Amino acid sequence: MGCGVTKSTQLQLKPCNRGNISVPAATAMRAALLIQRWYRQYVARLEMRRRCTWNIFQSIEYSGQQDHIKLYNFFGYLMDHFSSANSQRNLVSHMFGDSDLFLDMEWERHVCYKEIEVPDIYTGPHLFFPLTISNVTELVDAFKNKQKLHARYVLQLLGKTWTLLRLMPNISHVCTCKHKEITICGDLHGHLEDLLLIFYKNGFPSAETPYVFNGDFVDRGKESIEILLVLFAFLLLYPHDVHLNRGNHEDHIVNLRYGFTKEVLGKYQVHGKMILKLLQKIFSWLPLATVIDQKVLILHGGISDKTDLNVIAKLERHRFVSALRPLKRRGASARQKDAALEPDGDDELSAGRRRVQSLTHGTPLRFRPEFPRHSVHSESGRTGRSVEQELRERRRLAGLSLSSDSDPAQVLETDADEWKQIVDVLWSDPMSQNGCVPNEVRGGGCYWGPDVSQEVLDRHKLQMLIRSHECKQEGYEFCHNGRVLTIFSASNYYDVGSNRGAYIRLGPDLIPHFKQFQSSRSTRELTLRQSVGRTELSALQALRMQLFTHKSALIHEFQEYDPQCTGVISVKHWAAAVEKVLRLGLPWRVLRSQLVTSSTQDGQGTLDYHHWVNQLSVIQPSTEIANTSLLETLYKHHSNLESIFRMIDTDHSGLISFEEFRQTWKLLSSHLQMDISDKAISDLAESIDFNKDGSIDINEFMEAFRLVEHSRAETEAPPSPE
């Protein structure tokens, strides 16, 4: 067999104790070797499949984030260059102007939970302030039993949390005090089960068991509000021993897209909007980083070559309500500034990865809609306010209040620097090469290399950086020669069986010890093979949906390779076309046979593409909507549409008027440079208005495309008194 066996090859007779027949040692050894070799190869093939699946999920996730950021770059552009049409401008300012943004003191008066009565029939947990440990334990148990906390208590708890957070510095300094061990958790993303598992294994937070939670508490999972309430409750109980860092998902704009807004509105139908508004403020007041023993830095995303903790420590973090909201710039000078910030050479495509201008690197030329540009002066003429007043008002509305006597241009530059510091901290990812480049895959922050880690950590006299932000199969991963550690605490993040969660115990020696876990009984019972299989199916389904949304574009590309319209193209061309349209950087040829079950190929490396595309159909819209390409376009942009809808629906009523729907669509279509007639939109709107009352229910609209996540039914909270 030619194998180099390192163990002793002495021929010892090791009879197996089964009856009288023994297996000669040499034979046993050869058989064992064979089985071992075979099995290891088998496991490797499984690992390959698992890794492919992972890449699929991750590409789709990141490209979704990129889309989202593109959208907001667009809105930012709109804000900078006021559009001509009065109505459009009103819509934009309506979306971005926060007319009920009170000053802090007024806000406190406004959030009056005292008027909210808790009825007798309420069976959920009661909170009494100041909180006690038994009260908090009761709260945790109530959530374990799927109960809901009454809105009154939610607002009360949030109000007190907000008051507390305002007293905290941007960077918390923690000491192990020579004997304590600190527990550090990564992303939780609404997975309450994982948090409870951590508490079960590790103990509740207390003076003896201090915790750091490193951001991304919400979105994606279905119990985000419960996680927040539990974390805040423990924070109020032990303000010196519980530390919360802000993550990129602690951002109301991101929440619009990734499920948290929907969750809160679903669970709290009457008071949801107030809760969300209060949370907006709380998120902006979350500290940005924690430092342990002045040696270990903990923050959510990462760093860049420009990261300066002294700058971060001094900035006013609450001014940056959303890391996605671009800073306001003056009309004319902004255009110059944009020009200076834009790099030469436009979005060149790297091997399949989409490149988008990142947030901190200027507005992309590509995404500017063709609005006739009016100067700031002509606009203000219409409103009757001076330019300065107008700008100040808009800045105030956007959440950035500036004192009137500071030089606007100078302040803006400082703003830009501070904003970049924050975006880098919340959105960056490490890479293995040296250097620091914009993070184009996510659309925000940067990719930083081992040299940057060394430089930044050494400059601040730090030993190590602990961050989260990226899902890891084992729940944690070292990089940059052990100086950077990623910790991720949401198990089964992509799907059941996709990954474990982990947390860190750090003692005075500052050596991290890991504890891994995976929630849900079913995953523990699955073998490796079964869990890989399941996740794979799920990823393929997600991929099929992505392909379907690009049907027309795909057919168009296929036809480019088929000038004679035979309906058949080579697999090689098929793969090139798919990558050109989707730009996910995936191995299409390998995936092809798994994407469509029936064979559409005649065995000679060619493919009947019409048939293949038809096989992808996954949705049957339940309403009779005639125009199928419009349908497809809407489906493709449904996440964006939903985000926009929710922004327009500022009173969170779940309804928008026809006019608003039409304007939304027009905005989006000009952004995407598509041409959809007003009539088509009106027809569509009418056909969706089922009860003919002149308004569209957002949820019904989404339902019309059967864009229902399989667990949506579970999130519909049972009717209960609020």
Partner 1 sequence: MKYEQEEQVMSGLSGDARRVKSLCFVKFAEILLLESIITETQKRISNAFDVFDHECNKTVDVREIGTIILSLGCFPSEAELHDIIAELEDEEPAGFVRYEKFLPTMTKILLEHKFRPITEDLLLQAFKVLDPQKNGHLEPEELTKYLTQEGESFTQEEIDEMLSAAVDPDKNVILYKDFVSMMTFDDTR
The count of chain residues that interact with partner 1, using the rule CB under 8 A, is: 51
130 upstream amide cis, omega within 30 of 0: yes
| Identity of the amino acid at 665 | W
Question: Smaller CB distance to partner 1: residue 19 or 372?
Answer: 19
Ramachandran category for residue 677: left, alpha or beta (phi over 0 → left; psi -120 to 50 → alpha): beta
**Residue numbers 337-396 binding partner 1 by CB under 8 A:** 350-353
Q: Shortest CA distance to 138 belongs to which of 229, 10, 216, 262? A: 229
Q: Any contact of residue 585 with partner 1 (CB under 8 A)?
A: yes
Q: Looking at 28, 118, 311, 680, which residue binds partner 1 (CB under 8 A)?
A: 28
**Residue numbers 473-532 binding partner 1 by CB under 8 A:** 527-529
Question: Smaller CB distance to partner 1: residue 219 or 429?
Answer: 429
CB of 412 to partner 1, least distance (A): 35
- Name the catalytic one among 189, 243, 249, 300: 249
- Torsions phi, psi for 464 (to 5 deg): -150, 155
CB of 511 to partner 1, least distance (A): 22
Give the sheet arrangement for strand 476-479, strand by strand.
Answer: 171-174, 289-292, 296-298, 464-467, 484-487, 476-479
Active site residue 469: no
Q: Residue by residue, what is the 3-state secondary structure of 356-420?
A: CCCHHHCCCHHHCCCCCCCCHHHHHHHHCCCHHHHHHHHHHHCCCCCCCCCCHHHHHHHHHHHHH
Interface map 545-584 toward partner 1 (x if CB under 8 A): ----------------------------------------
Question: Smaller CB distance to partner 1: residue 48 or 175?
Answer: 48
Question: Smaller CB distance to partner 1: residue 3 or 105?
Answer: 3
CB of 30 to partner 1, least distance (A): 8
CB of 27 to partner 1, least distance (A): 6
For CA atoms 176, 180, 186, 192, the dihedral sign is negative
Binding segment (CB under 8 A) for partner 1, from list 4-12, 409-417, 617-625, 695-703: 4-12
CB distance 681 to 662 below 8 Å: yes
CB of 57 to partner 1, least distance (A): 13
**Residue numbers 397-436 binding partner 1 by CB under 8 A:** 431-433
Half-sphere exposure of residue 613: CA atoms within 13 angstroms, side-chain side: 20
**Residue numbers 33-62 binding partner 1 by CB under 8 A:** 33-45, 47-48, 51-52, 55
CB of 35 to partner 1, least distance (A): 5
Q: Return d(Cα 286, Cα 648) in angstroms, integer.
A: 26
Question: Smaller CB distance to partner 1: residue 31 or 511?
Answer: 31
Question: Smaller CB distance to partner 1: residue 53 or 255?
Answer: 53
Interface map 81-100 toward partner 1 (x if CB under 8 A): --------------------
Within 10 angstroms of residue 371's Cβ, the number of other Cβ atoms is 15
In the block, which residue shows the tokens 């003692």? Answer: 507
CB distance 400 to 393 below 8 Å: no
Half-sphere exposure of residue 476: CA atoms within 13 angstroms, side-chain side: 20
* Beta-ladder partners of 243: 212
Q: Any contact of residue 23 with partner 1 (CB under 8 A)?
A: yes
CB of 570 to partner 1, least distance (A): 13
In the block, which residue shows the tokens 């799920």? Answer: 538
Catalytic residues: 249
Residues near partner 1, by CB under 8 A:
1-7, 16, 18-19, 21-23, 27-45, 47-48, 51-52, 55, 350-353, 431-433, 527-529, 585, 587, 589-590
